Amino acid sequence: MDHRTAMARDLDHGQPPDGAPDEQAAQQHAPGTEPAHHAVHISIDQVSVRYGAFTAVRDVCFDVPRNAITALIGPSGCGKSTLLRTINRMNDLVPGATTTGAVTYNGEDIYAEGVDPVEVRRRIGMVFQKPNPFPKSIYDNVAFGPRLNGRKRDLDDLVEHSLRRAALWDEVKDKLAQSGLSLSGGQQQRLCIARAIAVDPDVILMDEPCSALDPIATLRIEELMKDMASEYTIVIVTHNMQQAARVSDLTAFFTVDMDNERQERTGVLVEIDDTDTIFTNASDPRTEAYITGRFG
C-alpha cells in the first residue's frame, strides 16, 4: 500500500523511479542476453474502451514483457490502435472515449486517481503510422521533448545520442539545421523514433510504423526495433504478418466479435503467445485462419 502511493506520487511529480538508473545500467551491461520474457513490464487487465456508447474493445487481458517486442495483429477495426492508445493514455484526448479496467506499468495502475497522464506519456513513448515530424529543424525535432522537460544543458549530446540510437545520425549529422520534413519517409520515421527516444521512455508503442514506407525502409526500421529491444519494451501494431513474425517475441491476435442483436462490432483478444507458437501452432482456429489468409 505504502509502496503504491509512493509510486503514484512519483508519477505525479515526474521524478524517475529510484531504482530506474541502476536497472537500466544493469541492462546495458548485459547486451545480447535473452530478453527476460517472464519480467512483466505492463499488465493489461480487463481493459474495455468505449467511444460514446460504442464498445470498441472489450475485456482485454495480457502482459507485456520487459525488453521484448510484442506485436498486436488482427483485422482492421478490431481495436488494436485503440488498445495501444490506452497504454499511454492517449485515448484520454479523444472526446467521448472512456477506458475501464487497469493498465499496470512497473506495478502501478496508470489509470489510478492522481496519476498524471502527461507523466505517463513521458515514460511510454509513441510512434505513429504516418511519419509526423514537426515542421522544425531535425535538431529541434529531437530536442523538442527534452526542452519540454526543461533540459537545456548537453542538448547536443542528447540529440546525437538519440539520432544514433535511431540509426539516423550518419545520414543527417551534416544537416541538423534542415527541416525534418526534407527527409525521406523512412528517415522521417526514424526521426520520429529518435524524437520519442529523446525523452528517455522505457516503453515505445508503435502503431503500424512501417505502413507508409517502402520495403527497404521497412527493413531498416525492423532492424532498428530488434536492436532497440535490448533497452526498451516495444509494443507494435502491424498489418504485416511477416513483419510480426520477423520482429516480435510475442504476438497477440485480436478479432472482431459481432453482436448481431445489438449490431455492434467489438474487438476482443483471441490469444497471445510466443510468436513462433502463434504462427505455427496457434491454439485458436480463428488465429490460424487469419494468419493463413483464410479469414472471413
Partner 1 sequence: MSTPTTQAPGGRGLQGSVRQRRADPLFRVVLAVAASSVLLLLAAMIIRTSIEAWPVFAKEGIWGFLTGTEWSVGTSRSEVTGSYGAWPFIYGTLLISLIAIVFAVPLSIGIALFTNELAPNWIRRPLTSAVDTLAMVPSIVYAFVGMYFFRIEVWAPVGQRIADTPLGEVPFFSGPVLLSSYWSAANILAIMILPIITAICRDVFAQVPADEKNAAYAMGATRWEVMSKIIVPHSFSGIVGGTMLGLGRALGETLAVAVLIGSTRDMTSSVFQPGDAMTALIANTFQDAHPEAIWALLAIGVTLFFITMAVNIVARLIVARVNLRVGGGATV
Ligand X SMILES: Nc1ncnc2c1ncn2[C@@H]1O[C@H](COP(=O)(O)OP(=O)(O)OP(=O)(O)O)[C@@H](O)[C@H]1O
Q: Which is nearer to Mg ion, 155 or 212 (CB)?
A: 212
- Measure CA of the first residue to CA of the last residue in the chain; give whole Å: 48
Cβ–Cβ under 8 Å, residues 290 and 74: yes
Amino acid letter, 53: A
Scanning residues 84 to 113, which ones bind partner 1 (CB under 8 A)? 88, 90, 93, 95
Q: Which is nearer to Mg ion, 27 or 81 (CB)?
A: 81
Asked if 132 touches partner 1 (CB under 8 A), the answer is yes
Asked if 79 touches ligand X (CB under 6 A), the answer is yes
Q: Which is nearer to partner 1, 111 or 274 (CB)?
A: 111
| Phi/psi of residue 192, nearest 5 degrees | -65, -35
Task: Pick from 76, 93, 150, 296 the residue near ligand X by CB under 6 A.
Answer: 76
Q: Say whether 108 sits in a helix, a strand or coil.
A: strand
Asked if 55 touches Mg ion (CB under 5 A), the answer is no
Strand order across the 97-105 sheet: 108-109, 97-105, 40-51, 54-65, 264-274, 250-259, 69-73, 233-237, 203-207, 124-127
* 11, three cell numbers: 508519477
Task: Pick from 8, 56, 124, 224 the residue near ligand X by CB under 6 A.
Answer: 56
| Cα–Cα distance, 251 to 44 (Å, whole number) | 15
Residues near partner 1 (CB under 8 A): 88, 90, 93, 95, 118-122, 125-126, 128, 130, 132-137, 144-145, 148-149, 177-179, 181-182, 192, 195-196, 199
Residues near Mg ion (CB under 5 A): 81
Residues near ligand X (CB under 6 A): 51, 56, 76-82, 94, 267
